[in-house]
Structures are given as structure tokens and as C-alpha cells.
Amino acid sequence: MKIEEENLSKHNLTLIDKWVEIIGGKLSYLYFFIVFISFYEIIARYLFNNPTDWVHESSIALAGFLMIYAGLFSYGRNKHIKVPILLNKVSPKLKNILEMFANIITLIYLGLLSYASYFIAKSAAFSPSGDLMLERSGSAWNPPFAGLLKVSLFILFIIFFIQVICKLQKHFHYYNKGE
């Protein structure tokens, strides 16, 4: 655990970034699970002529969740997609101001996305009468993955929003120090 903590501090991560990274390290094993069940499906389908009802839906739901989580993970490490041509040519102070501007735009986007996903998650998790009833896929297997995925996406967007606030707070701190 000591080595892992040293690696995390090297990246200048906020507390929420550290948690996202630790949890992400554990969740990354789900990719192996997706590969394993996909391999199982191939064997079942083509060798035994007995395809499954559950592999496709399970792998799609897991992959969708993991892709959104990968956004949190890469943002925390500052490895998200950006074009640094301008940032590399300006002073550190201006770079910090541009980063703050980008974070504010990101906050607005994530705020709107969280707001919209709240209503989607609410309708996917609760019946019109207010009872907890997760939306189901409607397939032959009919798992509640659709409801779980929509609720988890809302939660991940909220975490992402908090993550951006923490980064923005760090940039404001550097700005106020004159760095």
C-alpha cells in the first residue's frame, strides 16, 4: 500500500482523484471478466451450438460503466484528451487561467449532464407510483442492467462534477498564490 500511495502522490492528485484511481484499479479487472465471458460465449455458441442469453447484455453494461469510469480516471491523472499546443506556449500563470476556464466550461457541461441524467436515473429506478423498480432490458433474459447503468451513470457524473470542483479549487489556489 505504501508504494501505491507514493505513486498516487507523484501525480499530484486530489483526494477524490486518489479514490477514483484506487477503485479504478480494482474495477479494471472487470475487463478480464468481459473477455472471459465473451470467450465463454464463443465456445458455447460455436462448439456446443448453445448460445447464452446473458453474455452480450452483461458485457455491454459493464463496458458502458467502465468507459464512463475511465473518464474519471483519466481526468484525475490529467491524461484526458486536450490540445496542449497553446498551453505549452504561454506563461505558467496564463496556463493556469486557461485551465481554470476549461474547468469552468467542464463544470457547466457536467452540471447539465448530471441534471439531465438525474431524471433519466429517477425514471429508470422508480415506477410512476414511487416504488423502487429498476428498468429492465426487455430481452429474453430481461436483467435490470438498464436501470442499474442509468443510476450508476448519474452517480459517476456527480463524482466527476466534484472531481472538477477539486481541480478548479487547486487552480484558484495557485492563482491566488501568484503561480
Residue extents of the structural domains in the chain: 1-177
Q: pTM for the complete prediction?
A: 0.81
- What's the pLDDT tens digit per position in 42-99? 999 999 999 999 999 999 999 999 998 998 888 888 777 777 787 788 888 888 888 8
Q: At 28, give phi and psi (nearest 5°).
A: -60, -25
Per-residue confidence band for 41, with pLDDT thresholds at 50, 70 and 90: very high
Position 37 confidence tier, pLDDT thresholds 50, 70, 90: very high
The pLDDT of residue 10: 47
pLDDT of residue 158: 94
Q: For the residues 134-146, what does the mean pLDDT come to?
A: 88
Chain centre distance of CA 143:
22
The packing angle between helices 145-177 and 92-125, to 10°, is: 160
Q: Does the structure show a pLDDT above 70 at 179?
A: no
Q: What are phi and psi of 50, to 5 degrees?
A: -140, 75
